[in-house]
């Protein structure tokens, strides 16, 4: 029996600081309705989808910072997303800033969840590769303070088996900067992942390395296409993009097949739905041949990858 999951990458254009969650959720529900009309089973939203990308500002007032975080999911403001999922019979992935009491203390993570067609959360991921810096660096055109506002995720990269509403898809997640690191994909590849959902917020300008600015769109697709092919998985990359609070962010949301090919791609830097019919079994021929891990991997020779963090040069 064919295992086709029709997926929508629900790209969001800019969200300004003054935009309320209510207004953003209304935009997201409009994209969910479009997705349903387009035959989607699952729709994926960007990283930190409910607010502007707040790590661009240095803030010291914890109450001001916490205004960007969700303390409950769903809340009054986000419940309409879960209601729409139930009403439409449409699963969704949502990225948000998570504030939680855990291990006897308050913790904050950059988080994504997958919610099934009945509105039930079935997976959670907390971002592991936090880019940027922890202290104010006034020389930058804008800050990238993820290392200040979030802890490193503590859930590794789980792969979950979805229910029959999604043909038992083996689903994984990563968030933005994770996509640049092959380890993120391989941890899920080793669990047989069939589809990775990932949201991102990527400024065009990279203050520490402005010579990279012209390559932002290329690097975005380069890493996701490589990760898809090398792990024989679908990758659904979803941007928040456009001119947000004076900071231009790349778009390029896309759906990538296990062949490594982009099968659908956004053409705007605005709210835009990109749809593809994804055969979950398309990666099988790779998993059985070139990337038959059990047969061809040599983990004994990869020890340095987990034993060493930074590069050490030979003398």
Please, what is the minimum distance in Å from the beta carbon of residue 75 to ligand CDT?
A: 23
Applying the rule CB under 6 A, the residues between 31 and 50 that interact with ligand CDT are 47
**C-alpha–C-alpha distance, residues 190 and 207, integer Å:** 35
For tokens 């835009």, the residue is 272
The tokens describing 17, both together, are: 């600081």
DSSP letters along 120-186, please? -EEEEEE-----S-SS--TTSSS---HHHH-PPPSS----EE--GGGTT-EEEEEEGGGGG-HHHHH
When binding is defined by CB under 6 A, the residue of 74, 131, 163, 182 that contacts ligand CDT is 131
In our burial notation (b when 16+ CB lie closer than 10 A, e otherwise), range 118-147 reads ebeebbbbbbbbbebbeeeeeebebbbbbe
Q: Which stretch binds ligand CDT (CB under 6 A): 31-39, 176-184, 187-195, 261-269?
A: 176-184
- Among candidate residues 40, 176, 247, 254, the one labeled active-site is 176
Residue 127 annotated among the catalytic residues of the structure? yes
Q: Which stretch binds ligand CDT (CB under 6 A): 76-84, 184-192, 198-206, 259-267?
A: 198-206
Please, what is the minimum distance in Å from the beta carbon of residue 175 to ligand CDT?
A: 7
Using the rule CB under 6 A, is 201 a contact of ligand CDT? yes
Residue 47 annotated among the catalytic residues of the structure? yes
The tokens describing 259, both together, are: 């062949």
R_g of the chain computed on alpha carbons: 19
**54 or 200: CB nearest ligand CDT:** 200
Residue 87 annotated among the catalytic residues of the structure? no
The DSSP bridge pattern shows strands 195-200 and 170-175 to be parallel
Using the rule CB under 6 A, is 225 a contact of ligand CDT? no
Using the rule CB under 6 A, is 182 a contact of ligand CDT? no
Q: Rounded to a whole number, what is the largest CA-CA distance in the chain?
A: 63
Using the rule CB under 6 A, is 202 a contact of ligand CDT? yes
Q: Which stretch binds ligand CDT (CB under 6 A): 1-9, 182-190, 201-209, 305-313?
A: 201-209
Task: Kindly list the residues in this chain that would bind ligand CDT in the complex (CB under 6 A).
Answer: 47, 131, 176-177, 180, 200-202, 206
């Amino acid at each position: 029996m064919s295992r086709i999951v029709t997926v929508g990458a629900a790209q969001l254009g800019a969200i300004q600081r003054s935009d309320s969650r209510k207004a953003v959720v209304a935009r997201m529900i409009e994209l969910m309705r479009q997705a349903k009309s387009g035959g989607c089973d699952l729709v994926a939203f960007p990283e930190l989808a409910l607010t502007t990308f707040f790590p661009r500002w240095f803030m010291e007032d914890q109450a001001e910072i916490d205004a960007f975080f969700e303390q409950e999911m769903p809340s009054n403001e986000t419940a309409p997303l879960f209601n729409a999922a139930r009403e439409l019979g449409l699963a969704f992935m949502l990225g948000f800033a998570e504030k939680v009491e855990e291990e006897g203390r308050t913790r904050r993570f950059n988080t994504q969840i997958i919610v099934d067609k009945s509105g039930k959360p079935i997976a959670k991921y907390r971002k592991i590769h936090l880019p940027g810096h922890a202290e104010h660096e006034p020389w930058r055109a804008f800050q990238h303070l993820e290392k200040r506002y979030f802890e490193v995720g503590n859930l590794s990269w789980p792969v979950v088996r979805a229910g029959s509403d999604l043909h038992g898809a083996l689903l994984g997640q990563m968030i933005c900067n994770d996509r640049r690191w092959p380890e993120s994909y391989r941890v899920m590849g080793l669990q047989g992942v069939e589809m990775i959902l990932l949201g991102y917020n990527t400024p065009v300008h990279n203050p520490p390395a402005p010579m990279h600015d012209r390559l932002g769109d290329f690097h975005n697709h380069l890493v996701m296409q490589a990760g898809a092919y090398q792990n024989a998985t679908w990758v659904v990359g979803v941007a928040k993009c456009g001119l947000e609070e004076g900071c231009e962010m790349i778009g390029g949301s896309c759906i990538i097949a296990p062949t490594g090919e982009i099968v659908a791609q956004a053409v705007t830097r605005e709210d835009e739905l990109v749809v593809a019919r994804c055969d979950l079994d398309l990666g099988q021929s790779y998993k059985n041949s070139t990337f038959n891990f059990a047969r061809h991997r040599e983990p004994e020779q990869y020890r340095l990858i987990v034993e060493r963090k930074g590069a050490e040069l030979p003398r």
